[in-house]
Amino acid sequence: MATCIGKIQLERPVMLASGILGISLDVFNRLYRAGAGAVVTKSLSTEPWDGYPNPTIFSVNGGGWINAVGLSNPGAPNFAKIIEPNKDVPIIVSLVGSIPQDFEMMIKEFKNCKITAYELNLSCPHVAKVGLEVGDDPELVKKIVSTVKNSTNVPVIAKVGLGTTHYLTTVSAAIDSGIDAITAINTVRAMAIDVETQRPILSNKFGGLSGTPIKHIALRCVYEISSKYDIPIIGCGGISTWEDAVEFILAGSSAIQLGSAIGENWIHVFNDINKGVLEYMERKNYSTLEEMRGLAKKS
């Protein structure tokens, strides 16, 4: 069940996705005990952000969520203090910013923390000037990735999503600048309207769609990236069962992340998936995940 995402080594392939429950070290410890191979923190900014007013989450009929939490977070400096005591949990710190200097400044804050990797959120679909607005600008992506790579020896992951620029352009720009891995995908821009009051439900109007509705979209992105580039991939989007996890690995991902499934199956989902993947590997006679990675591309 151990997996390597390039230079990143994990005991188990299923991680907590960014923005989900990722707020206290106690929670990280609990999730790690519950079977998560790593936890990705909420995306952190240079300053604390309150995020948008409620409603920030809409529960989609038939499954999935639309969220516009608005990247609320305590800010990198506060957060670094929270995770400083960490010894055991593989923590991936997610960062969000508008210019290379933002990322440089934040990375300095974490100098005393044990961190497994950084994940650059280039793909939040509902906050202006950061996230997708950065990911949609390949030149800016190059500058940010180069700056981050020069600021740290810890592996750096770029998280992409469906924006106004083709996500493969963003992937390519990140690879050109030395990125270590790609997480695909973030939520997909969406909205919900209440027919009685005739208004968008989320206070921000637009939010990001996550969960089962985006699973097959995310899966094709992983397949497309792994067919085109030789870069480690972390699959993310709508994963809630071991079959989903296996699909993403067969499509070419080295590890996976999940968030929305926790809203449905709570944190048991980590061990359920670990167990299912393990049984699958035994049944199919694989001794490592690597043996099955990308097999769907062969046919």
Partner 1 sequence: MQRNHNHPNQFAMVWIPGINELPMSVMISRESGKAAFTVRKHGHASTGLFNVKVGQQIGVRGPYGNSFDLKQGKLLLVGGGTGLVPMMRLLTFLKPDDDVTLLIGAKSKDEVFFEDLANSLLDKNSHQVIVSTDDGTYGERGYVTEVVKKLVSEIRFNAVYTCGPEIMMYKTVQLAHSKGLFVQASLERMMKCGVGICGSCCVGEDLVCRDGTIFDGPHLLSNKEFGHFHRNKAGILENY
124 is catalytic: yes
Check residue 210 and give left, alpha or beta (phi > 0: left; psi -120 to 50: alpha).
beta
Q: Is 201 in the site for partner 1 (CB under 8 A)?
A: yes
Question: Is 53 buried (19+), middle (13-18) or exposed (0-12) by CB count in 10 A?
Answer: exposed
Q: Please pick, among 4, 124, 221, 236, the residue that the annotation labels catalytic.
A: 124
Tokens of 155: 């592996």
Judged by CB under 6 A, the stretch of 28-36, 171-179, 233-241, 271-279 that binds ligand FMN is 233-241
Q: How far apart are CA 182 and CA 224, in angstroms?
A: 12
In the set 63, 75, 77, 263, which binds its own copies (CB under 8 A)?
A: 63
Tokens of 130: 């950061």
Q: How far apart are CA 254 and CA 241, in angstroms?
A: 17
Query: Is 46 strand, coil or helix?
Result: coil
Q: Binding marks (x or -) toward ligand FMN, 144..183, rule CB under 6 A?
A: ---------------x------------------------
Q: How far apart are CA 12 and CA 14, in angstroms?
A: 6
In the set 39, 83, 124, 246, which binds its own copies (CB under 8 A)?
A: 246
Tokens of 136: 């949609």
What single-letter amino acid sits at 15? M
Tokens of 44: 């952190």
Where does this chain bind ligand FMN (CB under 6 A)? 17-20, 42-43, 65, 67, 69, 71, 94, 121, 124, 159, 186-187, 210-211, 214, 236-239, 258-261
Where does this chain bind partner 1 (CB under 8 A)? 19-24, 26-27, 29-30, 42, 48-51, 53-57, 59, 65, 67, 69, 72-75, 78, 194, 196-197, 199, 201, 203, 259-260, 262-263, 266, 299
Where does this chain bind its own copies (CB under 8 A)? 60-64, 66, 162-166, 168, 188-193, 195, 197-200, 205-206, 209, 212-214, 216-217, 219-220, 223, 243, 246-247, 250-251, 280, 292, 295-296, 298-299
